[in-house]
Structure 1
Amino acid sequence: MTQATEAPHYMRRNVLDPVPALGELRSSTAVTKLVTAVGMPAYLVTRYEDVKAALADPQRFSNRKPPGWAAAPGASNVTAEEHARLTAGNLLGIDPPEHQRIRRMLTSEFTVRRMQRLEPRIIEIVDQHLDAMERTGPPADLVAGFALPIPSLVICELLGVPYQDRTDFQQRSSRQLNFSLPADERWALQLAAREYMMSLVQRARRNPGDDMLGMLVRQHGDEVTDDELVGIGGLLLLAGHETTSNMLGLGTIALLQRPDQLAAVRDDPDALGPAIEELLRYLSVVQNAIPRITTTAVEIGGVPIPAGQVVILSLPAANRDPQFIDAPDTLDIHRGAPGHLAFGHGVHHCLGAPLARMEMRIAFPALLRRFPHLAMAEDVDEVRFHAFNLVYGAQSLQVTW
């Protein structure tokens, strides 16, 4: 199997939009055979109803991968025992009923009520970073100074991760998700991330604090293993800052291109909730759901797929499907986009969705009110994007005010 040298259609963008070829595939056929970003043959599903149905069916579309599965870079020599340890606790790598057991332990930490208790601290974090941007003055890199550090600090405090370690884990996680890198390098990064999280788990075992790892040790210490705690913490740390930070960066670009909608997000509290949902749909920063493996022969839209095949579920294509929503390529913050799949669907629906929504509801209007004349300091065509990553976003974004 050969590492892909060019991003497949489902990972390509024209700035904020999926490339037209992805929409053409969706229009022409329900399922397309292709080669994934890691060089694996797979079936690509692009239509909203088909993607949603597959996400809701873990019995036939499994998240669990066999030992040595090639999408785990460098993992070809991993034994079954090692594979079990590496996937333990990772909600995106396990299926029911094990999945429900782990998720139930975490649910209380991600309720809307729990998020509301975090709101004053998130507001404080946002204001601190806006203060720092204002002191430094324009131009400024919105990604480095705002979009990335805010969700990073929030998830660090929630998990009990030392914030001084943020530079290391941010760089590591960004490279883990970069499929243009050699497989062995990404595998080494994955192992390094695991080693780091194990050190935090062992610290929590010795002295559990008030953070999430400490809570899990205190309340579930006898029923959760260290490997499961590592899987839980590693996933939340990775997902908790990569996704929201890229939404903040890309969302700012989208709003700056549409002054009327920007003004509504800035000034109208009633418009904010629907705006966040529409931005989530329109941007769909997660390029695809975690690849599924068919557990039996299935048929999607009349296309047969044998058992044991890799299935890629394209979230941007599904969220831009005209059968799902009218004028899908238009950003309209007033419609709210109910039913979008940006957070997934079914049992694997993103556990951290309430936190991500709260961070965006606080950060977007705060940024736009603080800098009412915010503008891009570079042409959008000059912005460098993470073009070969699982989570799409801007590498940097120069702004002025």
Structure 2
Amino acid sequence: MIGVLDGVRTRVLSGVRGVVMRQAAGRVDLSRVDKIPPTLGWPLQRDGMDSPARLDEMRTEAPVQKLTTFLGLNVWLVTGYDAGHAVLVDQTSYSTDIRPYVGKSGASDGDIGGLGFTDPPDHTRLRKFLTPEFTRRRLQRLEPLIDAIIDRQLDEIEAAAKASDDGVVDLVPLFGFAVPFLVICELLGLPDERRETFRELGSARFDVTGGGNAVLGAISGSREFLLAETARQRHDPGPGLIGQIVRDFGDEISDYDLGGLADGAFTGGMETSAGMLALGTVVLLEHREHWEALVAGEADVDAVVEELLRYLSVVQIAFPRFAKTDVVVDGQPIKKGDVVLVHLPAVDRDPAFGGCPVDFDPHRPSKSHLAFGHGIHRCVGAELARVELRKAYPALAKRFPAMTLVDGSDDLEYFGQSIVYGVEKLLVRPLG
């Protein structure tokens, strides 16, 4: 799953090539931005599970509209499904290369690595190293580990509930965070003694309230950790993704590139799944008929998961696209050098989905959502996320059929301004 200001947050804005790049270099440095202005940040603020009503109004007026001008760059917001799909699938009109926009303080040796900030042909070269690790066959090998991790966390939830005076536990650290974190540690092949350090580096990188410098600092911390881990595994390959790529490709990939890929896997595989597990549990508990169907083993789990992915779209903004040439999107002219942001929750609640797209309805006629993005920058870990969600929700429901929320969705403390949406804590009574 991917993200904006994944641009100013999961990683902060993208670059353009050619003349625009050379003109922008030295003029725009996102790493020096102390605060994201309200004109740019408001689309990241939700009303509980729902995006701002203003986005629906914008989509009705025109699915592509100018959001603001930021650091001299015109920023366009896409809220319609067809327009969003067209932008995300277009490999030739846009760049996602952020390097000209972060300055020396935001990048190491002029680069920050990773698939999300790389254009072809470099993107093609790097993706070939990572894609084999996310094939169905490789993921099947992880399934017993995922089952074991989920079972262990369910045991911890039950123990915590029994030890609590009121039977209340917080699902965020015990389930929402723990399951994807432990899975990504297994995927990367991180030894147990290094996992606590890794855990501490995770969450700050998705919060844009501190501005570009804070985001890039958080990114730098996790990248430095993974670069060091990559260098270590170059000499002592572990059992996970890092070690396997070393064994399969050796000197074809540098430590720097491999560290960037590992960091991208961490980015796409941890916080996004954590948000989905917590928020998806809220949705299911408030739509009790679907919870009961999971308990009874009667739910179409694939349909439930896909509808939760669409309904929640926890990655709020796709990787920013910088126009490399003049382009027209849904009738709206966009100039070379402009930034195009696709708002994923808005496009995934477009009336094009049929019925009432603001409602959670697993029986909705099938239509491909864009929660994982689309095109060459579609989340490479999408299938891993699906495996986790398809296993975790039914396991939670069957283990704790009488689980109830302590607070309703209107009373929860959600992330205030974050590329990856989530909830600070989720108090439940697992045993009813």
TM-score for both structures, normalised by structure 2: 0.86
Matched residue, 1:103: 127
Matched residue, 1:316: 345
- The 1-side partners of 2:73 and 2:322 are apart by 12
1:29-108 residue pairs with structure 2 within 5 A?
29-35=62-68, 41-67=74-100, 69=101, 75-77=102-104, 82-84=109-111, 86-87=112-113, 90-108=114-132
**Amino acid of the structure 2 residue aligned with 1:49:** D
Q: How many Å apart are 1:267 and its aligned residue?
A: 2.7
Distance 1:199 1:39, change over 3 A: farther
Distance 1:369 1:80, change over 3 A: closer
- Are residue 118 (structure 1) and residue 145 (structure 2) matched? no
Matched residue, 2:23: none
**Amino acid of the structure 2 residue aligned with 1:396:** K
- Secondary structure of 1:293's partner? strand
Question: Which segments of 5 or more consecutive residues in structure 2 lack a partner in the other structure?
Answer: 1-32, 162-166
- Secondary structure of 1:330's partner? coil
- The 1-side partners of 2:298 and 2:374 are apart by 27
- Secondary structure of 1:328's partner? coil
2:311–2:349 Cα contact (<8 Å) kept:
yes
- Secondary structure of 2:131's partner? helix
Distance 1:13 1:114, change over 3 A: same
Question: Which segments of 5 or more consecutive residues in structure 1 lack a partner in the other structure?
Answer: 70-74
Match of 2:282 among 253, 270, 278: 253
- Are residue 291 (structure 1) and residue 323 (structure 2) matched? no
- The 2-side partners of 1:37 and 1:11 are apart by 16
1:275-286 residue pairs with structure 2 within 5 A?
275-286=304-315
- The 1-side partners of 2:137 and 2:147 are apart by 16
Range with bigger deviation, 377-386 or 282-291: 377-386
1:4–1:37 Cα contact (<8 Å) kept:
no
Q: How many Å apart are 1:194 and its aligned residue?
A: 1.8
Distance 1:23 1:131, change over 3 A: same
- Are residue 341 (structure 1) and residue 370 (structure 2) matched? yes
1:11-26 residue pairs with structure 2 within 5 A?
11-26=44-59
How many pairs are equivalent? Answer: 392
Q: How many Å apart are 1:181 and its aligned residue?
A: 1.1
- The 1-side partners of 2:223 and 2:93 are apart by 29
2:103–2:110 Cα contact (<8 Å) kept:
no
- Secondary structure of 2:110's partner? helix
Distance 1:267 1:38, change over 3 A: farther
Identity among equivalent positions (%) equals 38
Range with bigger deviation, 4-13 or 116-125: 4-13
Matched residue, 1:332: 361
**Amino acid of the structure 1 residue aligned with 2:116:** L
- Are residue 28 (structure 1) and residue 24 (structure 2) matched? no
Range with bigger deviation, 54-63 or 32-41: 32-41
- The 1-side partners of 2:274 and 2:268 are apart by 10
- The 2-side partners of 1:36 and 1:357 are apart by 37
Range with bigger deviation, 96-105 or 365-374: 96-105
Distance 1:38 1:364, change over 3 A: farther
Distance 1:122 1:81, change over 3 A: closer
Matched residue, 1:72: none
- The 2-side partners of 1:290 and 1:304 are apart by 20
Q: How many Å apart are 1:59 and its aligned residue?
A: 1.1
Range with bigger deviation, 285-294 or 331-340: 331-340
2:87–2:329 Cα contact (<8 Å) kept:
no
- The 2-side partners of 1:263 and 1:254 are apart by 13
Q: How many Å apart are 1:80 and its aligned residue?
A: 9.2
Range with bigger deviation, 316-325 or 367-376: 316-325
- The 2-side partners of 1:353 and 1:292 are apart by 20
Matched residue, 1:398: 427
**Amino acid of the structure 2 residue aligned with 1:226:** D
1:32–1:44 Cα contact (<8 Å) kept:
yes
1:249–1:393 Cα contact (<8 Å) kept:
yes
1:180-329 residue pairs with structure 2 within 5 A?
180-268=209-297, 271-329=300-358
Distance 1:265 1:40, change over 3 A: farther
Deviations 1:70-117 (A, max 9, x none): xxxxx3345998223x22xx1111122221221122222111222222
Distance 1:139 1:92, change over 3 A: same
**Amino acid of the structure 1 residue aligned with 2:331:** G
- Secondary structure of 2:353's partner? coil
**Greater relative contact order (Cα 8 A, min sep 6): structure 1 or 2?**
2
- Secondary structure of 1:286's partner? coil
- The 1-side partners of 2:413 and 2:219 are apart by 25
- The 1-side partners of 2:83 and 2:238 are apart by 43
Q: How many Å apart are 1:167 and its aligned residue?
A: 4.6
1:342-357 residue pairs with structure 2 within 5 A?
342-357=371-386
- Root-mean-square deviation (CA, aligned residues, Å) is 2.1
- Secondary structure of 2:428's partner? strand
- Secondary structure of 2:346's partner? helix
- Secondary structure of 2:328's partner? strand
Q: How many Å apart are 1:330 and its aligned residue?
A: 1.2
Deviations 1:134-176 (A, max 9, x none): 1121210001111111110011011012345445444433211
Q: How many Å apart are 1:39 and its aligned residue?
A: 9.9
2:353–2:367 Cα contact (<8 Å) kept:
no
Distance 1:80 1:108, change over 3 A: closer
- Secondary structure of 2:36's partner? coil
Deviations 1:43-73 (A, max 9, x none): 1011101111111112112111342x1xxxx
TM-score for both structures, normalised by structure 1: 0.92
**Amino acid of the structure 1 residue aligned with 2:81:** Y
Matched residue, 1:175: 204
2:34–2:211 Cα contact (<8 Å) kept:
no
Distance 1:114 1:125, change over 3 A: same
